[in-house]
Amino acid sequence: MIQTKTYRYKLNPSPSQQRSLVQWLGACRYVYNLSLSYKKTLWEQNKISIGKYEIQKELSAIAKQTPWLGCVNSQTLQEVTDRVFNAYEGFFKQGKGFPKFARKGQYQSFSFKQGVKLSATHVQLPKLGKVKYRNSQACTGTIKRATVRECADGWYVCLCVETDIEPLPTVQNSIGIDVGIKSLLVTSAGETIENPKHLYKAEKKLKRLQRLVSRKKKGSTNRKKAVKKLARQHQKVANTRFDFHHKLTTRLIRENQAIAVESLQIKNILANHHLAKSISDAGWYGLTQMLEYKAKWYGRKFEKVSARHTSQDCSACGYRNTELTLAVREWVCPGCGTTHDRDVNAARNIKLRAVGHTVTQLVELDSSSTLKQESPAL
């Protein structure tokens, strides 16, 4: 099955190549701000909505007359204008904020649409030549797009490829997953994965580095060094979380034929400032996204179900305990007398909603097979 996959490698550019990368990044940021300013001004002063291809045609003429723009690959400059119009589309169709100008340090990547080749030791980038990279994993498939990104610890290249991924062997297990803060997730089988709390573990060091930044004079070289140290520590936290999520989701996908999770409006939940930091540290959105695309890769079933009353409904008889508060972690069902762990009960309800069983069917299944012989297809 042909699927889209992304590989990420760290680049080891030479000093001259690193200067070129910095120059390209600055040129792309300039083009982004120029395109945004031009489109915005035309509309405000003349009520003219200029199209993407018209801007690209004018940019082509400007690049021929400007050496530091002309050295940048033409398709890379076209991709910059694509970003501008994607930002406008996000504003008008998806309710996102109005496009803003990119300040220095905010614009961190540029892309190639074609012409990228990969060998065992080098990656061939148009106009930049062969750049050494750290070959951390084998890349299979046809390269469709490449993005070069500047991070706190250096330069990276992300290769978007189309490759043939074989589905995993069929298994008989299916689970529901309830995400949380104290426990990162609890499954309908009763397994609890504790929250590693990557940010909280690094918080003491982050505070110390932040104090060092605040004590340095603005604009000084020492302040820039302190800012880089702080950024590297933040990136280390993000990388640690990312690695943990990858290993966890890969195991869940391999062990289960079908996975169901809550359909959470995480953006709305983050409005609670008492929990926003802990929720962001847990990384619920990234975790569910990984489960979704890995299920698609390997032929698994993935489904999101409504989160309403998953903790209040009894998974044995369907009784709804509306008096249940968040502080109560265990409760006894007044309808059937079953003792529930709050999170495990929620995970079982998530699984049952995905399967589509009624309460009557649930009771029949519980008496005959203790819910372990359900169909693996959700």
pLDDT tens for residues 150-171?
Answer: 999 999 999 999 999 899 999 9
The mean per-residue pLDDT over the stretch 208-230 comes to 95
Length in residues, the chain: 378
Q: What are phi and psi of 330, to 5 degrees?
A: -135, 140
CB burial of residue 160 (10 Å; 0-12, 13-18, 19+): middle
User: Of 106, 119, 206, 101, which Cα lies nearest the Cα of 149?
Assistant: 106
pLDDT above 50: residue 376: no
Range in 17-26, 36-45, 89-98 with the lowest mean pLDDT:
89-98
- Greater pLDDT, 138 or 378: 138
Please, which pLDDT band fits residue 364 given cuts at 50, 70 and 90?
Answer: very low
Confidence bin at 367 (pLDDT 50/70/90): very low
Band (pLDDT 50/70/90 cuts) for residue 356 is low
pLDDT tens for 51-83 read 999 999 999 999 989 999 999 999 999 999 999
Among the listed residues 79, 150, 178, 281, the single catalytic one is 178
Cα separation of 226 and 234, whole Å? 13
| Mean predicted confidence (pLDDT) in 181-192 | 90
Mean pLDDT over residues 46-53, rounded? 91
pLDDT at position 187, please?
92
Query: What is the pLDDT of the chain when averaged over all its residues?
Result: 89
Alpha helix segments (H runs only) across the chain: 15-46, 52-65, 67-70, 74-93, 198-215, 221-255, 266-269, 276-282, 284-297, 342-355, 359-369
By C-alpha distance, which of 174, 374, 197, 202 is closest to 259?
174
- Residue 339 DSSP SS3: strand
**Catalytic residue status for 262:** yes
The more confidently predicted of residues 321 and 1 is: 321
Burial (CB count <10 Å: 0-12, 13-18, 19+), residue 113: middle
pLDDT tens per residue across span 82-137: 999 999 999 998 888 999 999 988 899 999 999 999 999 999 999 999 999 999 99
Active site residue 366: no
User: What is the rounded end-to-end Cα distance, in angstroms, of the chain?
Assistant: 21
Task: Write the secondary structure of 13-25 as one string of H (helix), E (strand) and C (coil).
Answer: CCHHHHHHHHHHH
Q: Is the confidence at residue 40, as pLDDT, over 60?
A: yes
Cβ-based neighbour number of residue 130 at 10 Å: 13
Radius of gyration of the chain, Cα coordinates, nearest whole angstrom: 26
Q: Which CATH architecture has domain 170-378?
A: 2-Layer Sandwich (3.30)
Whether 341 is a known active-site residue: answer no
Which of the four pLDDT bands, split at 50, 70 and 90, describes residue 359?
very low
pLDDT in tens, 273-316: 888 888 899 999 999 999 999 999 999 999 999 888 888 888 88
Question: What residues does each domain of the chain span?
Answer: 2-164, 170-378
Which is the catalytic residue, given 262, 303, 313, 374?
Answer: 262
Q: Which of 27-36, 110-119, 224-233, 353-362 bottoms out in mean pLDDT, i.e. has the lowest?
A: 353-362
Instruction: State pTM to two decimals.
Output: 0.85
Please enumerate in sequence order all residues whose Cβ is within 8 A of that of 49, keeping only pairs 6 or more positions apart, or say none: 39, 42, 43
Of the candidates 79, 150, 281, 343, the residue annotated as catalytic is 343
